[in-house]
Amino acid sequence: MEIIDGRKVNTEVAKRDFKYYIFDWDDNILHMPTRIYLEKLSRDGVWRSVAVSTSTYALVRTDTAHYRMPQNGGRAAAFRDFQDAPDACSDDLAFIRDTKSALNRIASGESPGPSFETLRKTLREGRIFAIVTARGHAAETIREAVRLFIDRVLTQEERDEMLTNLRGYRYCFDKVDKFGTDEEELDYFLSMCRYHAVTNPDFHERLVGDSDFGVRFAEASADERPELAKEFAIRDFVEHLFRTLQRTNALGHQVAVGFSDDDAGNVSAVSDYIRSELARRFGGFKFVVYDTSDPSLTNGRKVTVAGQLKLPGF
Ligand SMILES: [Mg+2]
Protein backbone atom coordinates (compact mmCIF):
# COMPACT_ATOMS: atom_id res chain seq x y z
CA MET A 1 0.00 0.00 0.00
CA GLU A 2 1.36 3.44 -0.96
CA ILE A 3 0.08 6.98 -0.75
CA ILE A 4 0.18 8.61 -4.19
CA ASP A 5 -1.47 11.94 -5.04
CA GLY A 6 -2.81 11.91 -1.48
CA ARG A 7 -4.74 8.63 -2.06
CA LYS A 8 -4.31 5.06 -0.92
CA VAL A 9 -3.01 2.98 -3.84
CA ASN A 10 -2.50 -0.78 -3.84
CA THR A 11 0.52 -1.19 -6.14
CA GLU A 12 0.62 -4.91 -5.25
CA VAL A 13 -2.08 -5.52 -7.88
CA ALA A 14 0.71 -5.61 -10.50
CA LYS A 15 1.96 -8.88 -8.96
CA ARG A 16 -1.46 -10.54 -8.90
CA ASP A 17 -2.59 -13.24 -11.26
CA PHE A 18 -4.95 -11.82 -13.87
CA LYS A 19 -8.34 -13.41 -13.36
CA TYR A 20 -11.42 -12.18 -15.16
CA TYR A 21 -14.99 -13.33 -14.95
CA ILE A 22 -17.97 -13.54 -17.24
CA PHE A 23 -21.24 -13.81 -15.33
CA ASP A 24 -24.69 -14.80 -16.41
CA TRP A 25 -27.10 -12.70 -14.33
CA ASP A 26 -30.38 -14.55 -13.65
CA ASP A 27 -30.08 -17.31 -11.03
CA ASN A 28 -26.31 -17.07 -11.22
CA ILE A 29 -25.90 -13.73 -9.43
CA LEU A 30 -29.46 -12.89 -8.44
CA HIS A 31 -32.81 -14.63 -8.37
CA MET A 32 -34.88 -12.02 -10.16
CA PRO A 33 -38.68 -11.90 -9.88
CA THR A 34 -39.07 -11.42 -13.67
CA ARG A 35 -41.38 -13.98 -15.32
CA ILE A 36 -41.42 -15.58 -18.79
CA TYR A 37 -44.81 -16.12 -20.43
CA LEU A 38 -45.09 -19.53 -22.09
CA GLU A 39 -47.73 -22.08 -23.00
CA LYS A 40 -47.74 -25.48 -21.33
CA LEU A 41 -49.46 -28.65 -22.52
CA SER A 42 -51.98 -29.66 -19.86
CA ARG A 43 -52.94 -33.27 -19.07
CA ASP A 44 -56.21 -32.75 -20.99
CA GLY A 45 -54.18 -31.98 -24.13
CA VAL A 46 -54.86 -28.24 -24.11
CA TRP A 47 -52.06 -25.64 -24.29
CA ARG A 48 -52.52 -23.09 -21.49
CA SER A 49 -50.69 -19.88 -20.62
CA VAL A 50 -48.18 -20.16 -17.80
CA ALA A 51 -45.73 -17.65 -16.30
CA VAL A 52 -42.44 -19.28 -15.25
CA SER A 53 -39.40 -18.09 -13.35
CA THR A 54 -36.02 -17.86 -15.06
CA SER A 55 -34.78 -20.90 -13.13
CA THR A 56 -37.74 -22.97 -14.33
CA TYR A 57 -37.23 -21.71 -17.87
CA ALA A 58 -33.60 -22.85 -17.83
CA LEU A 59 -34.89 -26.36 -17.11
CA VAL A 60 -37.86 -26.49 -19.49
CA ARG A 61 -36.73 -24.45 -22.46
CA THR A 62 -35.68 -27.51 -24.46
CA ASP A 63 -38.76 -29.53 -23.41
CA THR A 64 -40.69 -28.69 -26.56
CA ALA A 65 -43.16 -31.53 -25.96
CA HIS A 66 -44.64 -29.69 -22.98
CA TYR A 67 -43.67 -26.02 -23.33
CA ARG A 68 -43.87 -23.62 -26.24
CA MET A 69 -43.73 -19.93 -27.01
CA PRO A 70 -47.10 -18.14 -26.94
CA GLN A 71 -48.91 -18.67 -30.23
CA ASN A 72 -49.90 -15.05 -30.07
CA GLY A 73 -46.72 -12.94 -30.15
CA GLY A 74 -44.10 -15.71 -29.97
CA ARG A 75 -40.72 -15.12 -28.36
CA ALA A 76 -41.22 -11.34 -28.09
CA ALA A 77 -44.40 -11.87 -26.04
CA ALA A 78 -42.73 -14.53 -23.87
CA PHE A 79 -39.86 -12.20 -22.94
CA ARG A 80 -41.74 -8.91 -22.84
CA ASP A 81 -40.50 -8.18 -19.29
CA PHE A 82 -36.86 -8.69 -20.31
CA GLN A 83 -36.70 -5.52 -22.39
CA ASP A 84 -36.36 -1.87 -21.42
CA ALA A 85 -39.64 -0.02 -21.87
CA PRO A 86 -39.02 2.80 -24.37
CA ASP A 87 -38.49 6.22 -22.75
CA ALA A 88 -38.78 4.85 -19.19
CA CYS A 89 -36.70 6.68 -16.61
CA SER A 90 -34.23 4.45 -14.83
CA ASP A 91 -36.35 3.84 -11.71
CA ASP A 92 -39.17 2.59 -13.93
CA LEU A 93 -37.06 0.09 -15.83
CA ALA A 94 -38.15 -3.46 -15.02
CA PHE A 95 -34.54 -4.65 -14.70
CA ILE A 96 -33.68 -1.97 -12.13
CA ARG A 97 -36.89 -2.58 -10.19
CA ASP A 98 -36.35 -6.35 -10.20
CA THR A 99 -32.69 -5.99 -9.18
CA LYS A 100 -33.70 -3.83 -6.22
CA SER A 101 -36.33 -6.31 -5.17
CA ALA A 102 -33.90 -9.27 -5.52
CA LEU A 103 -31.31 -7.38 -3.40
CA ASN A 104 -33.97 -6.55 -0.80
CA ARG A 105 -34.88 -10.21 -0.49
CA ILE A 106 -31.21 -11.10 0.08
CA ALA A 107 -30.96 -8.37 2.72
CA SER A 108 -33.88 -10.02 4.49
CA GLY A 109 -32.24 -13.42 4.51
CA GLU A 110 -32.91 -15.17 1.18
CA SER A 111 -30.04 -16.97 -0.51
CA PRO A 112 -28.43 -15.15 -3.42
CA GLY A 113 -27.37 -16.83 -6.67
CA PRO A 114 -24.35 -19.17 -6.60
CA SER A 115 -21.97 -16.58 -8.15
CA PHE A 116 -23.13 -13.64 -6.03
CA GLU A 117 -20.08 -13.79 -3.76
CA THR A 118 -17.75 -14.15 -6.75
CA LEU A 119 -19.12 -10.94 -8.26
CA ARG A 120 -18.73 -9.22 -4.90
CA LYS A 121 -15.09 -10.36 -4.67
CA THR A 122 -14.43 -9.40 -8.31
CA LEU A 123 -15.68 -5.88 -7.60
CA ARG A 124 -13.73 -5.59 -4.36
CA GLU A 125 -10.56 -6.68 -6.15
CA GLY A 126 -11.23 -4.26 -9.01
CA ARG A 127 -11.02 -6.94 -11.69
CA ILE A 128 -12.55 -6.38 -15.11
CA PHE A 129 -15.63 -8.56 -15.74
CA ALA A 130 -18.52 -9.01 -18.13
CA ILE A 131 -22.21 -9.63 -17.60
CA VAL A 132 -23.59 -11.78 -20.40
CA THR A 133 -27.32 -12.36 -20.25
CA ALA A 134 -30.02 -13.57 -22.60
CA ARG A 135 -32.03 -10.48 -21.63
CA GLY A 136 -32.69 -7.60 -24.01
CA HIS A 137 -31.84 -4.52 -21.94
CA ALA A 138 -29.49 -1.74 -22.96
CA ALA A 139 -25.89 -2.15 -21.78
CA GLU A 140 -26.38 1.03 -19.75
CA THR A 141 -29.27 -0.58 -17.82
CA ILE A 142 -27.17 -3.60 -16.83
CA ARG A 143 -24.33 -1.29 -15.80
CA GLU A 144 -26.72 0.63 -13.60
CA ALA A 145 -27.77 -2.62 -11.92
CA VAL A 146 -24.09 -3.41 -11.24
CA ARG A 147 -23.80 0.04 -9.71
CA LEU A 148 -26.74 -0.79 -7.43
CA PHE A 149 -24.95 -4.00 -6.46
CA ILE A 150 -21.85 -1.99 -5.50
CA ASP A 151 -23.86 0.51 -3.47
CA ARG A 152 -26.05 -2.02 -1.70
CA VAL A 153 -23.94 -5.16 -1.30
CA LEU A 154 -20.40 -3.92 -0.69
CA THR A 155 -19.66 -2.52 2.76
CA GLN A 156 -17.91 0.86 3.10
CA GLU A 157 -14.64 -1.00 3.83
CA GLU A 158 -15.09 -3.13 0.71
CA ARG A 159 -15.76 -0.06 -1.44
CA ASP A 160 -12.60 1.58 -0.03
CA GLU A 161 -10.63 -1.58 -0.80
CA MET A 162 -12.06 -1.60 -4.34
CA LEU A 163 -10.99 2.01 -4.94
CA THR A 164 -7.50 1.36 -3.52
CA ASN A 165 -7.19 -1.54 -5.98
CA LEU A 166 -8.64 0.44 -8.90
CA ARG A 167 -6.09 3.20 -8.33
CA GLY A 168 -3.42 0.48 -8.18
CA TYR A 169 -4.36 -0.77 -11.66
CA ARG A 170 -4.48 2.79 -12.98
CA TYR A 171 -1.04 3.55 -11.52
CA CYS A 172 0.68 0.31 -12.53
CA PHE A 173 -0.82 -0.27 -15.99
CA ASP A 174 -2.26 3.04 -17.23
CA LYS A 175 0.72 4.96 -15.73
CA VAL A 176 -1.65 7.42 -14.04
CA ASP A 177 -0.36 9.22 -10.94
CA LYS A 178 -3.05 11.91 -10.67
CA PHE A 179 -6.35 10.33 -9.78
CA GLY A 180 -9.91 11.46 -10.37
CA THR A 181 -12.54 11.54 -7.66
CA ASP A 182 -13.73 8.17 -6.36
CA GLU A 183 -16.82 8.54 -8.53
CA GLU A 184 -14.69 9.18 -11.63
CA GLU A 185 -12.39 6.23 -10.93
CA LEU A 186 -15.39 3.95 -10.39
CA ASP A 187 -16.93 5.20 -13.64
CA TYR A 188 -13.70 4.47 -15.49
CA PHE A 189 -13.60 0.93 -14.08
CA LEU A 190 -17.24 0.27 -14.98
CA SER A 191 -16.56 1.54 -18.51
CA MET A 192 -13.82 -1.12 -18.84
CA CYS A 193 -16.34 -3.87 -18.07
CA ARG A 194 -18.85 -5.25 -20.58
CA TYR A 195 -22.62 -5.57 -20.26
CA HIS A 196 -24.01 -7.77 -23.01
CA ALA A 197 -27.73 -8.43 -23.08
CA VAL A 198 -27.72 -10.59 -26.15
CA THR A 199 -31.31 -10.03 -27.30
CA ASN A 200 -30.90 -6.25 -27.20
CA PRO A 201 -31.48 -4.77 -30.70
CA ASP A 202 -28.08 -2.98 -30.79
CA PHE A 203 -26.25 -6.13 -29.76
CA HIS A 204 -28.26 -8.16 -32.26
CA GLU A 205 -27.25 -5.81 -35.06
CA ARG A 206 -23.57 -6.30 -34.23
CA LEU A 207 -24.05 -10.07 -34.09
CA VAL A 208 -25.76 -10.44 -37.47
CA GLY A 209 -23.19 -8.08 -39.04
CA ASP A 210 -20.25 -10.21 -37.85
CA SER A 211 -18.52 -12.13 -40.65
CA ASP A 212 -18.39 -15.40 -38.68
CA PHE A 213 -21.35 -15.27 -36.27
CA GLY A 214 -23.75 -13.60 -38.74
CA VAL A 215 -23.69 -16.69 -40.97
CA ARG A 216 -23.91 -19.15 -38.08
CA PHE A 217 -26.78 -17.20 -36.54
CA ALA A 218 -28.77 -17.20 -39.79
CA GLU A 219 -28.44 -21.01 -39.98
CA ALA A 220 -29.14 -21.68 -36.27
CA SER A 221 -32.50 -22.87 -34.91
CA ALA A 222 -34.48 -20.64 -32.52
CA ASP A 223 -33.25 -22.75 -29.58
CA GLU A 224 -29.60 -22.51 -30.61
CA ARG A 225 -29.64 -18.76 -31.14
CA PRO A 226 -29.42 -17.60 -27.50
CA GLU A 227 -26.42 -19.90 -26.95
CA LEU A 228 -24.75 -18.64 -30.12
CA ALA A 229 -25.35 -15.03 -29.08
CA LYS A 230 -23.72 -15.75 -25.72
CA GLU A 231 -20.69 -17.18 -27.52
CA PHE A 232 -20.42 -13.99 -29.57
CA ALA A 233 -20.62 -11.89 -26.38
CA ILE A 234 -17.90 -13.98 -24.75
CA ARG A 235 -15.64 -13.66 -27.77
CA ASP A 236 -16.15 -9.89 -27.69
CA PHE A 237 -15.13 -9.73 -24.01
CA VAL A 238 -12.06 -11.95 -24.46
CA GLU A 239 -10.96 -9.82 -27.43
CA HIS A 240 -11.49 -6.72 -25.28
CA LEU A 241 -9.33 -8.25 -22.53
CA PHE A 242 -6.62 -9.13 -25.03
CA ARG A 243 -6.56 -5.59 -26.44
CA THR A 244 -6.49 -4.10 -22.93
CA LEU A 245 -3.58 -6.31 -21.88
CA GLN A 246 -1.77 -5.49 -25.11
CA ARG A 247 -2.28 -1.73 -24.64
CA THR A 248 -0.93 -1.86 -21.10
CA ASN A 249 2.01 -4.18 -21.93
CA ALA A 250 0.59 -6.81 -19.61
CA LEU A 251 0.36 -9.77 -22.01
CA GLY A 252 3.21 -11.63 -20.28
CA HIS A 253 1.05 -12.19 -17.19
CA GLN A 254 -0.85 -15.37 -16.48
CA VAL A 255 -4.43 -14.81 -17.57
CA ALA A 256 -7.49 -16.83 -16.62
CA VAL A 257 -11.05 -16.24 -17.76
CA GLY A 258 -13.96 -17.79 -15.87
CA PHE A 259 -17.51 -18.14 -17.16
CA SER A 260 -20.46 -19.01 -14.92
CA ASP A 261 -24.03 -19.82 -15.97
CA ASP A 262 -26.87 -21.79 -14.36
CA ASP A 263 -28.25 -22.98 -17.72
CA ALA A 264 -26.79 -26.38 -18.61
CA GLY A 265 -27.41 -25.77 -22.33
CA ASN A 266 -25.39 -22.56 -22.26
CA VAL A 267 -22.63 -24.19 -20.20
CA SER A 268 -22.26 -27.00 -22.71
CA ALA A 269 -22.44 -24.73 -25.81
CA VAL A 270 -19.94 -22.25 -24.35
CA SER A 271 -17.58 -25.06 -23.24
CA ASP A 272 -17.57 -26.45 -26.79
CA TYR A 273 -16.97 -22.98 -28.21
CA ILE A 274 -14.03 -22.36 -25.85
CA ARG A 275 -12.45 -25.69 -26.75
CA SER A 276 -12.95 -25.37 -30.49
CA GLU A 277 -12.24 -21.67 -30.94
CA LEU A 278 -11.14 -19.49 -28.02
CA ALA A 279 -8.55 -21.86 -26.52
CA ARG A 280 -6.91 -22.03 -29.95
CA ARG A 281 -7.02 -18.27 -30.62
CA PHE A 282 -5.96 -17.25 -27.12
CA GLY A 283 -3.53 -20.05 -26.36
CA GLY A 284 -1.91 -18.26 -23.42
CA PHE A 285 -5.24 -17.87 -21.60
CA LYS A 286 -6.69 -20.37 -19.19
CA PHE A 287 -10.47 -20.85 -19.47
CA VAL A 288 -12.66 -22.18 -16.70
CA VAL A 289 -16.41 -22.80 -16.91
CA TYR A 290 -18.66 -23.07 -13.85
CA ASP A 291 -22.00 -24.83 -14.10
CA THR A 292 -24.11 -23.21 -11.38
CA SER A 293 -27.34 -25.10 -12.12
CA ASP A 294 -27.25 -26.77 -8.68
CA PRO A 295 -28.19 -23.95 -6.28
CA SER A 296 -26.83 -25.89 -3.29
CA LEU A 297 -23.27 -25.58 -4.63
CA THR A 298 -21.64 -22.19 -3.99
CA ASN A 299 -19.63 -21.20 -7.09
CA GLY A 300 -21.07 -24.15 -9.00
CA ARG A 301 -19.33 -27.12 -10.55
CA LYS A 302 -16.16 -26.57 -12.53
CA VAL A 303 -16.72 -28.27 -15.86
CA THR A 304 -14.10 -27.18 -18.34
CA VAL A 305 -10.53 -26.19 -18.14
CA ALA A 306 -8.65 -25.15 -21.26
CA GLY A 307 -5.08 -23.93 -21.14
CA GLN A 308 -2.01 -25.03 -19.27
CA LEU A 309 -1.71 -22.44 -16.54
CA LYS A 310 -2.15 -23.35 -12.92
CA LEU A 311 -3.53 -20.52 -10.85
CA PRO A 312 -4.25 -20.91 -7.18
CA GLY A 313 -7.89 -20.78 -6.22
CA PHE A 314 -9.34 -20.80 -9.71
MG1 LIG B 1 -29.28 -17.75 -15.81
Kindly report the CA angle at 91 between 138 and 87, in degrees rounded to 5? 55
What is the predicted pLDDT for the residue at 313?
A: 52
Amino acid at 85: A
CA–CA dist 93, 223 (Å, integer): 27
The model scores a pTM over 0.85: yes
Tell how far the Cα of 84 is from the centroid of ligand 1, in angstroms: 18
Tell how far the Cα of 27 is from the centroid of ligand 1, in angstroms: 5
What is the predicted pLDDT for the residue at 300?
A: 85
Tell how far the Cα of 262 is from the centroid of ligand 1, in angstroms: 5
Q: How many CA atoms lie within 13 A of 159 on its CB side?
A: 14
Portion of the chain with pLDDT greater than 90, in percent: 78
What is the predicted pLDDT for the residue at 76?
A: 86
The mean pLDDT of 143-172, rounded to a whole number, is 97
Tell how far the Cα of 201 is from the centroid of ligand 1, in angstroms: 20
Tell how far the Cα of 9 is from the centroid of ligand 1, in angstroms: 36
Tell how far the Cα of 20 is from the centroid of ligand 1, in angstroms: 19
Tell how far the Cα of 49 is from the centroid of ligand 1, in angstroms: 22
Tell how far the Cα of 12 is from the centroid of ligand 1, in angstroms: 34
pLDDT in tens, 21-36: 999 999 999 999 999 9
Tell how far the Cα of 135 is from the centroid of ligand 1, in angstroms: 10
H or E segment and range at residue 209: none
